[in-house]
Structure 1
């Protein structure tokens, strides 16, 4: 069964589930580095579940940690002038079994080889994000910014309080950008601490550079991702 998430509704074991989402521009993959090693290369006890509204939960158990990843459709409410074609949220929750566990959350777009895309940083208040397009499709990826993560750490909101970033400038530098994705590093977790990080992706037909529909969607908190599947 699940170890760090809880469910209000019945869930079903399945034989396998993928840690990525297919989009019109390519696969968005979700991975972690645990103590300098990618989770996808670590031998773990794995369990996979189908959630009540079509989402999935991947559970990884190791002597040093428990990591679970939920991928599902979030609750979305858009202004009338906005429109999207698809959206998914991904929520990681990790429990450390020992002291000084470090982890980095990696989310990356692997573009289809047959298309050329343009993109760049598309951040906002409380949000670190990237938006890509190929003049046919627009795709955005978002996660919470460092200022929000530090705030969560100070109120014990599933975030360990070990960020060496007291001023706002250094907090804005916590989340790192890759060529086609983002990294959220958590420098240290102590035994029995929980850490939760989420990402949201959304896409729509490309209209023009002024369309901010996908950017609007990815600026959300984890509760709007989890509530549709009755998780907490």
Structure 2
């Protein structure tokens, strides 16, 4: 049993290592986020502190590679002039939504066509979140819905911008009993403002831009 568990831990470590390599190469930054940022609830088994430190070291080492930075810039330069590409991302499998997403608005910066302003006071960010729909709002054009973030256990409000999902809900293509307590993956967009050297989310700017249903939440 112990050997089987060890094998699962090793398999999980190498799976996350491959994802970490992909993230680091794809999103090269100085002093980038750590393992806990990218994989807060992802592991199928609990990794040791030593393995988590190894993943952090991988992210740090790759983020300092000048060769990979140049390759990264060439990639984003190649796609920056293609209007058909609205964003690029990394998926854990071909049938899943990207859990790391770079919108086309960032292509020019990442390709080196222009440098980001160090004194920029506001920016738009995106993330992929596992949520449970607590309260939809179908009565207003400026729809603000309540969601429960599965990773943090906290509720948040966001304006619903996935018109296709709203239409399927209002037309009854989503089961009437599932109008609340729906498990879903959502793309969340929000503005951040720099305050005292740190980025904080600007109130009332959070939007859900894409919804992927996963089925009813368990009671």
TM-score, normalised with respect to structure 1: 0.30
- Structure number with the bigger relative contact order (C-alpha 8 A, sep ≥ 6) is 1
- Larger fraction in strand: 1
